[in-house]
């Protein structure tokens, strides 16, 4: 039997999608499929990563979100074989039927965001292995010699978010300033963002803060996963960075639920400097280990 992660899009073809979701949301589907492929011993059909989207050009974003050339087809069925399977095999969507279907005539379709990280909360090791195996080496070329162990990641989602969805810049500023006070500016603050330098000006004025771009969205997620701590946004992009590296993290808000296997290492607060749990987490991860 086969399993195919069907990534969201306005229209999906065998080799590309049109108007597809962002990389982080697509990763949920691929990750769940990888976990189920291992659990049920299913043959894995490569997801259709390539995406055509005009919005990134209209907004003038650096990352055009095509997701081309990011992944190899490690142990996956791809190319013409993939196209033939998707055209000829019977498809079903109910996971409960997997163990009842014993032939090679069917494809189980994995789709939808599901329950975000809750569906894979304790599978982070297998999920990390899956992505490590399929990410092309050249995708991480910019960051391969970078040591993130003494860096704090700050992910600020702006680009395609309306004002109502954005976390105020002041929240990040105040959180960074509090951490700097606690740690005597010991850590490098790396700003990951799709915003403009003008929009980030207030943050980039902080002496130990600097804008960082790994060359593509995937490299940025992996970079965040290697950092010591994360101040995240209400974006699953932040969530993936934290999840893959089980990085302790603080958010102003997030709509996608729990991320880490150890839930004591993540929290939500509207004021880091006044939240006792936030202070305790910062002390445990950043102060006591200096």
pLDDT in tens, 258-287: 999 999 999 999 999 999 999 999 999 999
Q: Taking a C-beta distance cutoff of 8 angstroms, is the pair 117, 200 a contact?
A: no
What are the residue ranges spanned by the domains of the chain?
A: 2-135, 151-287
How far apart, in whole angstroms, are the C-alpha atoms of residue 175 and residue 186? 15
The predicted pLDDT at position 59 comes to 65
Strand pairing of 51-52 and 17-18? parallel
Mean pLDDT score, 173-192: 98
- Tell which wins on pLDDT, 21 or 266: 266
210's enclosing H/E stretch is strand 209-211
How far apart, in whole angstroms, are the C-alpha atoms of residue 232 and residue 225? 12
pLDDT score of 60 more than 70: no
The predicted pLDDT at position 127 comes to 98
Residues 6+ apart with CB under 8 A from 93: 108, 109, 111
Q: What are residue 229's phi and psi, to 5 degrees?
A: -160, 155
Q: Taking a C-beta distance cutoff of 8 angstroms, is the pair 208, 180 a contact?
A: yes
Tokens of 55: 């919005």
Q: What is the pLDDT of residues 102-127, one digit of tens each?
A: 777 899 999 999 999 999 999 999 99
pTM, rounded to two decimals: 0.92
DSSP 3-state of 169: helix
Tokens of 33: 């499929």
Residue 184: closest CA among 43, 286, 264, 116: 286
- Specify whether domain 151-287 bears CATH 3.40.50.2000: yes
């Amino acid at each position: 039997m086969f399993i195919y992660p069907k990534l969201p899009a306005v229209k999906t073809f065998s080799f590309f999608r049109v108007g597809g979701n962002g990389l982080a949301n697509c990763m949920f589907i691929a990750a769940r499929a990888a976990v189920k492929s291992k659990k049920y011993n299913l043959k894995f059909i490569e997801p259709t990563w390539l995406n055509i989207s005009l919005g990134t050009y209209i907004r003038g974003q650096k990352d055009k979100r095509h997701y081309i050339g990011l992944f190899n087809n490690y142990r996956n069925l791809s190319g013409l074989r993939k196209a033939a399977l998707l055209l000829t095999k019977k498809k079903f969507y109910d996971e409960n039927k997997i163990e009842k279907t014993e032939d090679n005539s069917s494809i189980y379709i994995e789709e939808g965001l599901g329950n975000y990280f809750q569906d894979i909360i304790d599978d982070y090791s297998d999920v990390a292995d899956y992505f490590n195996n399929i990410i092309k080496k050249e995708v991480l070329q910019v960051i391969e010699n970078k040591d993130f162990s003494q860096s704090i990641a700050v992910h600020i989602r702006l680009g395609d978010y309306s004002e109502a969805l954005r976390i105020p810049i002041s929240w990040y500023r105040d959180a960074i300033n509090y951490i700097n006070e606690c740690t005597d500016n010991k850590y490098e603050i790396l700003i990951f963002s799709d915003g403009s330098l003008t929009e980030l000006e207030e943050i980039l004025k902080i002496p130990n803060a600097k804008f960082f771009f790994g060359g593509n969205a995937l490299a940025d997620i992996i970079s965040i996963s290697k950092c010591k701590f994360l101040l995240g946004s209400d974006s699953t992009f932040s969530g993936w960075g934290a999840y893959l590296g089980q990085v302790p993290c603080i958010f102003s808000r997030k709509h996608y639920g729990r991320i880490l296997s150890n839930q004591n290492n993540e929290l939500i607060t509207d004021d880091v400097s006044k939240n006792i749990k936030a202070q305790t987490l910062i002390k445990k991860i950043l102060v006591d280990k200096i």
